[in-house]
Amino acid sequence: MGLVYSYWAGVQAHRRAELAERMALPDTLQVVTLSGATTYFTIQGEEMGYQYDLLKLYAEERGIPYRITVLPNLDSIHARLERGEAHLSITPEAITRRGQERWLYTGPISEHALVLVQKREQAGRDSSYVHNVTELIGKPLYVLSGSSHEQRLNNLGEQIGAKLDVRLLPGDTINSEDLIAFVATDSIKYTIVDAELARLAQKYYPNTDIALEVGFPQRISWITTARYEGLAHDLDKWGASLSNQAGAKNIYKKYFENFRVPIEELEIPKVKHSKVHIPTPKGAISPYDDLFKAQASALPWSWHLLAAIAYQESRFDASVVGWSGARGLMGIMPSTGRIYGASKETLLNPNESIRVSVRCLMDTEKSFRDIANLEERLKFTLGGYNAGVGHVQDAQRLASKYGYDAKVWTNNVERFILLKREAKYYTDPVCRSGYLRGTETVRYADEVAQRYQAYKGHHQK
């Protein structure tokens, strides 16, 4: 009897230990995600993304450190979760009955419609524009293979009594954002995506139309596995309270209301100097020319570059705070400021903002010293200043791989900066920094470089 009792006591102890492990919160939260505009990306080394910011809010409230791993596709995310190598995925997935057999859906649950993405209607001469779901019959509808969107379109076909022309594209090299870009550039006519992503992408692709909802709204959330039941339970409680949290509301506004707002609409902090108009002396570019001149000597370019950056970042308003958190005259991210010994508050001081900008430009320029032509090197430096050196170096490696010149910006490296929005490229083994919405980086480098030359020319007359 003693042996039997000892055996069952051991079994019960093991079960209690398993239960305790399942119900405990991790010491460090291992999180996996896809890279993307609504999930996770980096700008100037600053981690961003709507889902990422929600995760950060949760982790800070609970006092749990976390580690993010970006993976190339959903299959690799699922494999990490099932092997117990990750606790949580913050790439939202549609809640389905089949999925509930495999996952615990957890955290913030939102209800999203699917929308048709098509080109905007051209009045009076656009027969391809779809006004209602019955007009989808006979139209080629592109979605990702194995996605919930594929199943939703098949169900919709049943509801309207017709087999829809659903065309599948590989989900390991293409994502939903790519499909929107394909519509915007006339590579495909139609796709179906989540409405929230479509709204965000429309800021970059204003020629797209997303007015038509397709089918019923679907619920989406993060996922974990049954072995982390305690984490799921805690995330559910936290997620249920999000609608009442100011922090969550601010995160939503940041990405879906204030994202890439015009410079005139940037938030002006309520600090003393924000309402002070500083006149520009006659013949000067800005009120800060003397500060630019005093600190530019460490750079291989003239002080006009600092003036060009300041105009691009803030229109010479030292009190600006952008949607992403970039602050002050030179548009410095708080994380960059910390690296160079500046606080969020001191970044609103013009002299300190310029100091940090010069240090950052110097460090960025060092990464491209192998580019002999100084004006060519400027474009690379500006690209790295805007997006982070890692993204530009990714684009250089991609350029080399595909037979382009890794030391020439125009039509070479800039091409791959733009292509880093597509999963085929940002998941390539030569890429180390993940997703990038490169249109802004290319525009930034071009416009600042042009303005720099214009400012120099003005003072050389």
Its CATH architecture, for the domain 263-460, is Orthogonal Bundle (1.10)
Superfamily of domain 111-217: Periplasmic binding protein-like II (3.40.190.10)
Tell me if 111-217 shares its fold with 263-460.
Answer: no
Token duo for residue 214: 């397709």
d(CA 176, CA 143): 8
DSSP run (H or E) holding 66: strand 66-70
Contact 190, 130 (CB under 8 A): yes
Give the residue among 111, 67, 107 at the shortest CA–CA distance from 91. 107
Q: How many residues are recorded in the chain?
A: 461
Residues 6+ apart with CB under 8 A from 193: 114, 115, 117, 149, 176, 179, 180, 201
Q: Is 415 exposed, middle or buried (0-12, 13-18, 19+ CB in 10 A)?
A: middle
Give the residue among 330, 435, 423, 352 at the shortest CA–CA distance from 388. 435
Domain ranges in the chain?
2-109+221-256, 111-217, 263-460
Q: 116 in helix, strand or coil?
A: strand
d(CA 334, CA 345): 9
DSSP 147-191: SHHHHHHHHHHHHHTS--EEEEE-TTT--HHHHHHHHHTTS-SEE
* Domain 2-109+221-256 -> CATH class: alpha beta
Q: What is the pLDDT along the chain (461 residues), one digit of tens a residue?
A: 555 555 554 545 445 445 545 668 999 999 999 888 889 988 777 888 999 999 999 999 999 999 999 888 888 999 999 999 999 999 999 898 889 999 999 999 998 889 999 999 765 566 789 999 999 999 999 998 878 888 888 888 888 888 999 999 887 777 888 899 899 989 999 999 998 889 888 877 889 999 999 988 889 999 999 999 999 999 999 999 998 888 899 998 888 876 543 333 333 333 333 344 455 666 789 999 999 999 999 999 999 999 999 999 999 999 988 877 889 999 999 989 999 999 999 999 999 999 999 999 999 999 999 999 999 999 999 999 999 999 999 999 999 999 999 999 999 999 999 999 888 898 899 999 888 888 889 999 999 999 999 998 866 55
Q: What is the pTM of this model?
A: 0.72
- 389-404 burial, b at 16+ Cβ within 10 Å, e below that, comes to bbbbbbbbbbbbeeeb
Token duo for residue 92: 């939202």
